[in-house]
Amino acid sequence: MTFETKVAILVREDLAMWQKLNVTAFLATGIAGATPEAMGDPYEDAAGRYHAALLGQPVMILSATGEVLQRAFHQAIQRELRRAVYVEAMFATGHDAANREAFRAEPADAPNLVGIALFGPRKEVDKAAKGARMHP
């Protein structure tokens, strides 16, 4: 199946594994929360129990340098893609309000990104994520 939209999560390549997983999880929830139309239906198991819905399409996890993340950030803004962001300072916080404060303290045009998630038309997301590669 080919989707008209795409979800891509770009994670800075030099992070520790736990950081990559943490950033990916947070960014995926950001896209899910901002894009209800991208959500699938709840899952029902064989016993009739319901489980939470997931994003209704594949999520591409990409590895990127800091420079590629900056380019993707600017391209996402230019192309008006939905985006979720995670900056390095957020690793030192312990809750959502502190994360938002840490992000607001970053330079608006050059935040110290460790990850960005993008959602939008497939071709536009591909252009914005140019230079990132499939995560190993």
Q: Give the pLDDT confidence of 76-104 residue by residue, as tens digits.
A: 999 999 999 999 999 999 999 999 999 99
Residue where the block lists tokens 């990916």: 24
CA 32 to CA 53: how far, in whole Å?
10
Domain of 46 in residue numbering reads as 5-134
68-92 core/surface letters (b: 16 or more CB in 10 A; e: else): bbbbbbebbeebebbbbbbbbbbbe
Specify the number of domains making up the chain: 1
Bridge partners for 63 per DSSP: 11, 133
Q: Which residue has the tokens 């770009």?
A: 10
What is the pTM (predicted TM-score) of this model? 0.95
The string of pLDDT tens digits covering residues 35-74 is: 999 999 999 999 999 999 999 999 999 999 999 999 999 9
Q: Does residue 1 register a pLDDT over 90?
A: no
Higher pLDDT, 136 or 91: 91
The CATH number assigned to the domain holding 29 equals 3.40.1490.10
Give the pLDDT confidence score for residue 2 in this predicted structure. Answer: 87
Predicted pLDDT of residue 27: 98
